[in-house]
Structure 1
């Protein structure tokens, strides 16, 4: 085992290189006394905040994304001389099996976002772009976990930073390019949240930056279809198809639109038929 603390207090054995899953074991015990492996979505844990064992924090800092490793934590790096009765006896060395599923370096972003607007303005544009990119990356991570509400919060933080920041004309295109990506993310996220009005809003904001952006046109078309605004949906989707004629998703959405519109017109015809039938068969003025 590799000594990563320098005093034999934290020993590491790499099982496989490559949010954190962990299981803690006492000596000679097969069942873990602590584990988050049974959660459907492993919880995000922030170094220096959510991790209470010094040994686990040191261990995580030594790991790479996707790595699975076992650690031996001496009492100094685990539960100390008192332990954690009744589960952990005093002066106990514990074995932890930890898998680092993923990680995001958000420390710089968190510090920047905690500053006032005036303090943020003192930093160069590249710093703002980097922080916004980190927030967007965090949003993407949450989106992949189907945590759409949390993803939306991160995307909005990124968008706020970019909208607040003024840039010289020769660098404005960098801000617009970053905003475009975030707006597209927000549009898609609101579709997942079943809020098509908001999805359309952010899709149209993206089109202000790039009026021929196929993804923005597609998102707007999807939103309009959900709102049963079939003509607007068709206009957006046809424009998207013009930009990417062989895009499978766009072509399928147009087929879905045609099917929905056909069902809609059939129902309209049926309703009109019933109305006229009622008028033809109903009582006339003067009848008793």
Structure 2
């Protein structure tokens, strides 16, 4: 036996059984840490194999070379696969392996007789992590060179890779110096897109790929003269390196504005609504035609975010960028120029065009955040946002106007630090913004939200006729006619001569009549059906009685 094993025999612990098939283990020396290898990992061990009578039949020490194999893939006897999975790095253990988990009835002549129980003293030197990417053994990844940072590519990202694919016998299938592709679109074979999503920048890995993630039942014909064909149902080995990638993110939830980062920006800060940004900008059509170029002369192109000074997709895209970032924005017509033809500086943008903007965010100055303002500045900012909302409402841009009113309210929502005079000003603004927002929500047919907003106003001012009037409109649409009637009567009590309220009351009475008529018709139909059903039941009952009578008579 090796001296290292003998030195540690005094540290042998109690023997434990692994599984239910008779495999036993004694720890000779404890390992380090808590991790153990898993199926697919490439392990490196030193070992001594003996029969129960002490006859040694094999030893890696005799060759002075550790033994390497992939765990759990049937490359060694079952007892090894099961036992080494329980070991930590640096651990030494004695395994007693029954015939069923070793060489069975046939043995391994001439050194191992039939039905032999074996003992192996094993030292786990190290292992290389192998990731089972698809959890089915179809793609096993062994990291050859660790990558940088922690980020990995996602489906929309554009990656640059190098790869070399070979058959299990080493024959070259394909080799690429550098190739770029979108992850979800894939490249070469299905394994590449799946594997690259688990890799870090600069990582180099070896992929063991089963046929279902390679070329399946059809195989592959060679593309170049130095390549070989992939036979049907063949596994392949791919050495894959992730050189770099460009992150592509969805700026809008409907996937109609996408951003591909070419150069990462600095820090974490990004422009907010109202920020003034300075950019370099090139707008292109799908065929590469440039229709706009700004900021490349002595003066940078400057605009204010969320002020409709540029197209919506550009506005939204710039808000996601960091200082110094260079990105390409892909903008659907809905967020660009829509169904109208647009004449720009260098070329016309046809109707319904997807456009592309190369954008460099050189610098920006954020609009002050709430916490940076004193109480007077908060009231002034709220007033400005309310007026911006009013302008947008007049332009029939109700959704944007609604957001302005909500922004205006955010400045004055918490007024505990306000003076009494400032609280009065804030209350007037709150009522005005909630009423105006309710008008927006009516236009947007968000009637439940209208009710909430008007209720807030009435909590502050129970005699506010506008709030009652707009809540009536919402209740009518929600078919809460009793509640609508209560509000309209209260509004008329407060302002009997209000023309709009009178017209709404007239509309409400018509709606009530209409629904009463429908209800009468509905219940009338139900009663008619019930009467008809009762008549049929009584008729059927009489017929049944007649049949019973006839049966009795015939028997008599």
TM-score (norm 2): 0.31
Are 1:133 and 2:383 an aligned pair?
A: yes
CA distance in 1, matches of 2:403, 2:530: 54
Change (3 A) 1:148 1:132: same
CA distance in 1, matches of 2:489, 2:406: 29
Deviation of 1:238 after TM superposition, in Å, equals 1.2
Deviation of 1:176 after TM superposition, in Å, equals 0.7
SS at match of 1:49: strand
**Where is the strand percentage greater, Structure 1 or Structure 2?**
2
CA distance in 2, matches of 1:86, 1:235: 60
The equivalent of 1:147 in structure 2 is: 397
Q: Deviations over 1:226-267 (max 9, x none)?
A: 111011001111111122111111000000000001000000
The equivalent of 1:4 in structure 2 is: none
State how 1:30-179 maps to structure 2 within 5 Å. Answer: 48-49=302-303, 114-120=367-373, 123=374, 125-166=375-416, 167-179=418-430
Deviation of 1:86 after TM superposition, in Å, equals 8.2
CA distance in 1, matches of 2:483, 2:537: 42
Unaligned runs of 5+ in 1: 1-33, 35-46, 53-83, 88-110
Structure 1 counterpart of 2:460, from 198, 209, 213:
209
Deviation of 1:209 after TM superposition, in Å, equals 1.2
Are 1:193 and 2:444 an aligned pair?
A: yes
CA distance in 1, matches of 2:523, 2:411: 53
The equivalent of 1:279 in structure 2 is: 530
Deviation of 1:201 after TM superposition, in Å, equals 0.4
CA distance in 2, matches of 1:234, 1:179: 26
Runs of 4+ in 1 over 4 A off after TM superposition: 84-87
State how 1:211-226 maps to structure 2 within 5 Å. Answer: 211-226=462-477
Change (3 A) 1:114 1:228: same
Q: Deviations over 1:21-79 (max 9, x none)?
A: xxxxxxxxxxxxx9xxxxxxxxxxxx941779xxxxxxxxxxxxxxxxxxxxxxxxxxx
CA distance in 2, matches of 1:238, 1:159: 30
CA distance in 2, matches of 1:245, 1:224: 20
After TM superposition, the structure 1 stretch with the greater mean CA deviation from structure 2, 256-265 or 218-227, is: 218-227
Change (3 A) 1:86 1:144: closer
CA distance in 1, matches of 2:457, 2:445: 19
Change (3 A) 1:86 1:204: closer
User: More relative contact order in 1 or in 2 (CA 8 Å, sep 6+)?
Assistant: 1
Change (3 A) 1:272 1:158: same
Indicate conservation of the 8 Å contact 2:481/2:512, yes or no. yes
Deviation of 1:85 after TM superposition, in Å, equals 6.4
Change (3 A) 1:86 1:197: closer
CA distance in 2, matches of 1:150, 1:127: 23
Deviation of 1:133 after TM superposition, in Å, equals 1.0
Change (3 A) 1:85 1:135: closer
SS at match of 1:228: coil
Change (3 A) 1:230 1:126: same
Change (3 A) 1:245 1:284: same
Indicate conservation of the 8 Å contact 2:492/2:501, yes or no. yes
Greater C-alpha radius of gyration: 2
Deviation of 1:170 after TM superposition, in Å, equals 4.5
The equivalent of 1:258 in structure 2 is: 509
SS at match of 1:172: helix
Deviation of 1:172 after TM superposition, in Å, equals 1.5
Unaligned runs of 5+ in 2: 1-290, 292-300, 311-344, 349-364, 545-556
Indicate conservation of the 8 Å contact 2:458/2:467, yes or no. yes
Change (3 A) 1:268 1:143: same
SS at match of 2:537: coil
The number of residues matched between the two structures is: 185
